[in-house]
């Protein structure tokens, strides 16, 4: 049961790390404190997602997207989060457009020889778990 509950929450290590970053170095956090924060943030995701999903339903859309989440945050009183997330979303989408342009450039056979001549710039390698792309336009 406990393992099942843990699988449906965010990892306690990640949550604990974020908590520590905001507190003074001398502060300590009890294990129960981390566990409760784990539950709170999981509830936060469900709460906001429910609001965003309701909006999609009313507008006859099937895909919950970033704008819906920003709207839901604002609607539920998290206005400052919605502002910060809106900026974050904008930066993310810019990055996506740049990525697409970059990919197109490398798909061009004429530029393939360029790959051999100039090695690609080093990228930040991350072990963060990424879901497979499931973009659905609706």
Return the residues of window 20-79 that contact other proteins according to CB under 8 A: 21-23, 26-30, 32-33, 35-37, 39-50, 53-54, 57, 62-66, 68-70, 73, 76-78
d(CA 111, CA 87) in angstroms, rounded, equals: 34
Residue 112: partners with Cβ closer than 8 Å, 6 or more residues away: 106
Residues 74-133 that bind other proteins (CB under 8 A): 76-78, 80-81, 84-85, 88-89, 91-93, 95-96, 98-99, 102-103, 106, 112, 115, 119-120, 123-124, 126-131, 133
* Tokens representing residue 14 in the block: 């990640």
Min. distance of Cβ 135 from other proteins in angstroms?
5
Count of residues interacting with other proteins (CB under 8 A): 82
Other Cβ atoms less than 10 A from the Cβ of 15: the count is 21
5 near other proteins, rule: CB under 8 A: no
CA distance 14 to 11: 6
């Amino acid at each position: 049961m406990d393992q099942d509950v843990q699988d449906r929450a965010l990892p306690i290590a990640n949550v604990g790390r974020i908590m520590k970053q905001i507190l003074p170095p001398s502060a300590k956090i009890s294990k129960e404190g981390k566990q409760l924060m784990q539950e709170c943030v999981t509830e936060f995701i469900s709460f906001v997602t429910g609001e965003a999903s309701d909006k999609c339903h009313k507008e006859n859309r099937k895909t919950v997207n970033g704008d819906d989440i920003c709207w839901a945050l604002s609607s539920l009183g998290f206005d400052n989060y919605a502002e910060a997330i809106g900026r974050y979303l904008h930066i993310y989408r810019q990055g996506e457009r740049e990525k697409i342009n970059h990919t197109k450039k490398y798909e061009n056979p004429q530029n393939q020889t360029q790959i051999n001549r100039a090695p690609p710039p080093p990228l930040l390698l991350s072990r963060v778990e990424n879901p497979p792309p499931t973009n659905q336009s609706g």
